[in-house]
Amino acid sequence: MADQKIPQVTAKRLPLYYRYLEKLHAIGKQRVSSAQLSEALQIDPATIRRDFSYLGELGKKGYGYNVNYLLQFLRDFLKQDEVTNVVLIGVGNLGTALLRYNFYRSHNTKIVAGFDIDSNKVGKEIDGIPIFSIDRFAEVKELHNVEVAILTVPANVAQQVTDRIVAAGIRGILNFTPARLTAPPNVRIHHIDLTTELQTLIYFLKKFPPEENRE
């Protein structure tokens, strides 16, 4: 795959190319020249050739670009660049730590909002991430096109919060509470119980000290 470090100006034009190529594809066009693209999109042909050169060997001189190939290439390329927006519910100690943790640095994942019922927390920001009332969940979720939620509420409310966010269309939940949650089969729940993990580690250390495991 081509180098990911393409200039921002080029990256911004890729969706334009993509949309236009989709149109060409829809009317059955097989190839397109940079001159044709230039005219349709009002972008200088030299700029188009330079943009495409960042993506690798996409066209032959005198032939132009293969519409299908270019379309598939851009589709894959843009998908890799896609950022997945997630939200977090329960801005307590653990929730705050996770909001502060910059998932975005190493992955294309970004927490775009926190939710809580505590009026002292609602309306504030943590590291630039706004905290909303849980009553606004459906609205904010729709706005940011969110399908995944991190759950850091107290265990005794975890199921009711789950029911609510699932009803709003959440499809993936990272459950940091010790509660065992139930949800419809189209919802995926991953469970991270830090307390139990720590206790299990300590139990194994006591019961099976590592030295004894080694031959």
* Cα–Cα distance, 62 to 180 (Å, whole number): 63
Size of the site for ligand ATP (CB under 6 A): 18
154 part of the interface to ligand ATP, by CB under 6 A: yes
CB atoms within 10 A of CB 27: 7
Choosing from 39, 44, 81, 118, the residue that interacts with ligand ATP (CB under 6 A) is 118
Q: Is 7 or 123 the residue whose CB approaches ligand ATP more closely?
A: 123
174 part of the interface to ligand ATP, by CB under 6 A: no
117 part of the interface to ligand ATP, by CB under 6 A: yes
Smallest gap from residue 54 Cβ to ligand ATP (A): 45
* Cα–Cα distance, 162 to 8 (Å, whole number): 39
* H-only helix segments in the chain: 8-26, 34-41, 45-54, 67-81, 93-100, 103-106, 137-144, 155-167, 194-207, 210-213
Choosing from 24, 71, 91, 179, the residue that interacts with ligand ATP (CB under 6 A) is 91
116 part of the interface to ligand ATP, by CB under 6 A: yes
Q: Given 3-state DSSP classes, what are the helix, strand and coil percentages for the chain, each rounded to the nearest 5?
A: 50, 20, 30
92 part of the interface to ligand ATP, by CB under 6 A: yes
Smallest gap from residue 39 Cβ to ligand ATP (A): 54
120 part of the interface to ligand ATP, by CB under 6 A: no
* Cα–Cα distance, 189 to 175 (Å, whole number): 7
